[in-house]
A = this chain, B = another copy of it.
Amino acid sequence: MSFTVQEIATALGAAAAGNTALTIRAAAEPADAGPDELAMAMTPAYAETLGRGQARAAMLWPEADWQAMGLEAAIFAPRPRLAMAGLTRMLDRGQNFDSGIHPSAVIDPSAELAGDVIIGAFCVIGPRARIGAGSVIGPHCMIGTDAAIGAAALLRDHVSIGARVRIGDRFIAQPGARIGGDGFSFVTPEISGAEMARKTMGDQGETQAQAWLRIHSLGAVRIGDDVEVGANSTIDNGTIRDTEIGRGTKLDSLVQVGHNVRVGEDCLLCAQAGVGGSTRIGNSVVLGGQSGVADNVTVGDRVIATGATKILSNVPEGRVMMGYPAVKMDGFTETYKILRRLPRLARDLDALKKAVFKPNPNE
């Protein structure tokens, strides 16, 4: 894979300068770059390390003085991360999976695979499963009965797609993603301590220990177009209807989405985030790493939960949330500053008490 500097600039819609016929085979950090690698030096701090590498061409910020950096050519990126999206798409060598259908794969005769689908070694494709045109299914994947995957999917290895799961186009699943495990839903014959504590905000009352009865998952999972699911993440089946992930939403590694959850469009769920059962997440929501949303709550559009935030109740649209329990970020910051002053406040209070309630020495 190689491109000229000009080809890359054109693909990115970016300006270029110098010897734009120079051939580029890969991207590199400035200090590591070889002579045919494009150095990513989109800030002055990165550009200062160009001298430690051998780059002849670099991606720079607009109006950077590329010639003073000793470069032969440059591409100018007004929005660096946007340029990275275009560039990395061009240079991605991917996993290099074999083409065709591996002879070891076990494919039910009733499965419908588009003509150009790639199926890796040791895949299992169940009855009536459907896989759209141009999709690549890596080794060790399991596609269940009646599951449907759209066009141009990329499943890495060891991915599970349960029975009756339906997925849109351009789906990406990282290794070990599990779509369509059963929901976690149990009930006791009589009211349980956990139910009672929930109603009373903390008191289990006279409830007795009981065995749990399982509520089975009759629903599956429905996923829109352009969704990505990270390594070892899990999305559980719904109870009666499907759990839903909206178009354009991306899940990082080790994310959990519970049964009946509805996640909207264009959300980001960062690593180890979790969403409790039957919760509704709006569009363009960002859940930071290790954040959590309780079950049965509603999170509005464009809400942002910073890392490790725990949302325990409904959040109106547009809020930036932080803390456990989550509050608006500015409220969290204000409280937190006072918290840090608490030891001094406590001492001040003691001094005040002494001054105001001082024992009368004459009595």
Give A contacts to B, CB under 8 Å: 26-29, 32, 40, 79, 81-82, 84-86, 88-89, 91-96, 102, 104, 106, 120-122, 124, 126-127, 138-140, 142, 144-146, 156-158, 160, 162-164, 172, 174-176, 178, 180-182, 184-187, 189, 193-194, 197, 201-204, 209-218, 226, 228, 230-234, 236, 239-241, 248, 250, 252-254, 256, 258, 266, 268, 270-272, 274, 276, 283-284, 286, 289-290, 292, 294-295, 301-302, 304, 307-308, 310, 312, 318, 320, 322-325, 327-330, 333-336, 338-343, 345-346, 348-349, 352-353, 355-357
Contacts and interface: CB of A to CB of B under 8 A. Distances in A.
Contacts of A145: 95-96
B324 A96 contact: no
A304 B230 CA distance: 28
Nearest to A267: B212
A290 B292 contact: yes
A209 B302 contact: yes
A91 B294 CA distance: 28
A139 B272 CA distance: 27
Contact of A290 (B172, B187, B310, B352): B310
A339 to B, nearest CB: 6
A301 B327 CA distance: 32
Nearest to A335: B342
A210 B266 contact: yes
A274 B248 contact: no
A19 B170 CA distance: 47
A214 B228 contact: yes
Given A211-B266, A248-B211, A266-B210, A81 B357 contact: no
A215 B110 CA distance: 37
Contacts of A84: 185, 187, 215, 239
Nearest to A127: B96
B163 A88 contact: no
A300 B84 CA distance: 29
Closest 5 CB pairs of A and B: A181-B231, A202-B329, A88-B216, A174-B181, A209-B284
A214 B308 contact: no
A266 B207 CA distance: 14
Given A88-B239, A104-B106, A184-B253, A232 B234 contact: yes
Contact of A175 (B89, B160, B194, B215): B160
A215 B88 contact: yes
Given A162-B95, A178-B175, A139 B127 contact: no
Contacts of A226: 211
Given A32-B241, A356-B352, A181 B186 contact: no
Central interface residue in A127, A174, A185, A248, by most chain B CB within 10 Å: A174
8 contacts: A27-B218, A89-B216, A160-B231, A184-B270, A204-B302, A204-B318, A252-B256, A345-B345
